[in-house]
């Protein structure tokens, strides 16, 4: 039995190599179909990983509130409109009081992280570099899933009294403390000296993620307690309405002076189902507290990412459908070529039957031919798909992940196509009458 199978294998192999061009053209459909499947799955896996990485950056179940410059609208054609514009009180902007109110009033809120960002500079050992000072509390590190590489987070005394301490990112350590332990060292940030009490673990962020999510390179930030920023650097809540009016009347380039105490407010809720109701409550609360002025914007990063994920999933489904059509066309091509091959080799089939070959032998021979064409096309398609995946990743800057499962699935599909579409030609070949076949010209 084994020797008979080997003999049928060599006969099928000889038939394929005797028609190299025809066999190669037959396998093209399988090659492109398998390559498309692997490339599609690689792009889909890369997109999935990118979405998950972005979700880790923005956190889960988070709501982000950012201040915007107040946009005024009033009717200049009526005295009532002008008087209403004059009597409208100035919004206090986004403040710590807003954060405390949201945390204490809304039961679904787990954590609230207020942030203040200051563009400043760092000086150490006669080296000056621009940097961003971020005033936060420990909720910020928890919500954003930061881990400490060395040192500690802020304690209650440091946060309450606005101590001159800071936590630095991995990039700051590499740039200014490459040859020494930064813990306990002093770092001049702006006009103040801050004591380093901790170093965060490095976090790799792609440029696309920073642009899409509106986040920065955390590795190059300096973090200090929120009260430290308010006491030692800047407190925009002290800006008065009169000062803003004087600024607007003067020839100042900064006509839209920022009066918001906070630059960002992140709220984490207990579960995803609570996000939209909480957003509605927060919007009503802030509108009332800001005296009916919409000088803030509320975004839900997780929902935006899920929508992006859905769009990419639809795109991957379309790619998969195209790849499936290619494989189907390739299978039909194999069946057509094998049927034509049966007609060409009727005399050969009759000769084999006359010297003792059974119907099972004929079926096995043609099945092996079909499977060999599809498997060889599948292997070539796997190599081509891997190359396409790497090419897309490097040239189009699209993340791709080629998994072992995609290769196994593609190879299995290629072999299955050879079996499925080789059955009809093999069965037709085995049903030939030996005497009629020997007389066939």
pLDDT per residue rounded down to tens, the chain (441 residues): 677 677 767 777 777 777 777 778 778 878 888 888 888 888 877 777 776 666 656 666 888 899 986 555 445 455 544 554 444 567 888 999 999 999 999 888 889 999 999 999 999 888 899 889 999 999 998 888 888 999 999 999 999 999 999 999 998 998 899 889 999 999 999 999 999 999 999 876 655 555 555 556 778 899 999 999 999 998 887 766 666 666 655 555 455 677 888 999 999 888 877 888 898 999 999 999 988 888 889 888 766 666 666 666 776 677 677 777 777 777 787 777 777 777 676 777 777 777 777 777 777 877 888 888 888 888 898 899 889 888 888 887 777 888 888 788 878 887 888 788 777 777 777 776 666 655 555
Query: Count of alpha carbons within 13 Å of 394, Cβ hemisphere only?
Result: 6
Predicted pLDDT of residue 209: 54
Q: Give this prediction's pTM.
A: 0.61
Please answer whether residues 333 and 29 qualify as being in contact, where contact means their C-beta atoms are separated by less than 8 angstroms.
yes
| Residue 287 to residue 92: CA distance in whole angstroms | 11
Determine the angle formed by the axes of helices 346-354 and 359-395, rounding to 10 degrees: 130
Q: Which residues pair with residue 189 across a beta bridge? A: 122, 192
Instruction: Determine the pLDDT at residue 60.
Output: 66
pLDDT of 187 reads: 92
Residue 230: per-residue pLDDT: 92
Q: Determine how many CB atoms are found less than 10 A away from the CB of residue 138.
A: 18
């Amino acid at each position: 039995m084994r020797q008979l199978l080997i003999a049928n294998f060599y006969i099928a192999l000889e038939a394929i190599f005797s028609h190299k061009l025809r066999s190669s053209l037959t396998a093209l459909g399988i090659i492109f179909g398998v390559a498309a499947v692997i490339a599609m799955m690689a792009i889909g896996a890369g997109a999935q990983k990118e979405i998950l990485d972005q979700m880790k950056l923005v956190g889960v179940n988070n709501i982000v509130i950012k201040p915007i410059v107040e946009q005024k609208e009033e009717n200049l054609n009526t005295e009532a409109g002008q008087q209403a514009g004059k009597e409208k009180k100035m919004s206090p902007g986004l403040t710590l009081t807003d954060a405390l109110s949201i945390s204490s009033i809304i039961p679904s809120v787990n954590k609230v992280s207020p942030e203040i960002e200051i563009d400043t500079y760092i000086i150490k050992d006669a080296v000056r570099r621009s940097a961003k000072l971020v005033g936060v509390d420990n909720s910020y590190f928890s919500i954003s899933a930061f881990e400490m590489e060395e040192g500690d987070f802020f304690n209650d005394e440091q946060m309450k009294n606005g101590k001159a301490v800071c936590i630095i990112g991995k990039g700051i350590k590499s740039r200014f403390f490459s040859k020494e332990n930064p813990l306990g060292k002093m770092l001049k940030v702006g006009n103040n000296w801050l004591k380093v009490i901790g170093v965060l673990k490095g976090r790799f962020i792609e440029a696309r993620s920073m642009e899409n999510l509106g986040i920065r390179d955390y590795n190059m930030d300096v973090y200090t307690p929120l009260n430290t920023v308010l006491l030692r650097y800047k407190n925009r809540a002290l800006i008065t309405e009169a000062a803003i009016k004087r600024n607007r009347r003067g020839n100042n380039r900064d006509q839209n002076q920022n009066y918001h105490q906070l630059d960002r407010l992140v709220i984490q809720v207990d579960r995803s189902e609570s996000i939209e109701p909480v957003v509605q409550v927060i919007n009503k609360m802030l509108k009332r507290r800001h005296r009916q002025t919409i000088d803030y914007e509320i975004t839900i990063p997780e929902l935006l990412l899920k929508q992006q994920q859905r769009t990419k999933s639809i795109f991957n489904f379309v790619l998969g459908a195209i790849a499936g059509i290619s494989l189907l066309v390739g299978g039909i091509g194999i069946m057509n070529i094998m049927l034509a091959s049966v007609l060409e080799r009727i005399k050969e089939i009759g000769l084999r039957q006359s010297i003792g070959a059974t119907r099972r032998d004929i079926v096995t021979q043609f099945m092996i031919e079909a499977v060999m064409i599809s498997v060889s096309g599948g292997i070539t398609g796997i190599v081509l798909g891997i190359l396409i995946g790497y090419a897309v990743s490097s040239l189009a800057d699209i993340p791709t992940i080629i998994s072992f499962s995609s290769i196994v699935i593609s190879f299995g599909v290629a072999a299955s196509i050879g079996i499925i579409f080789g059955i009809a030609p093999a069965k037709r070949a085995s049903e030939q009458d030996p005497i009629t076949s020997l007389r066939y010209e």
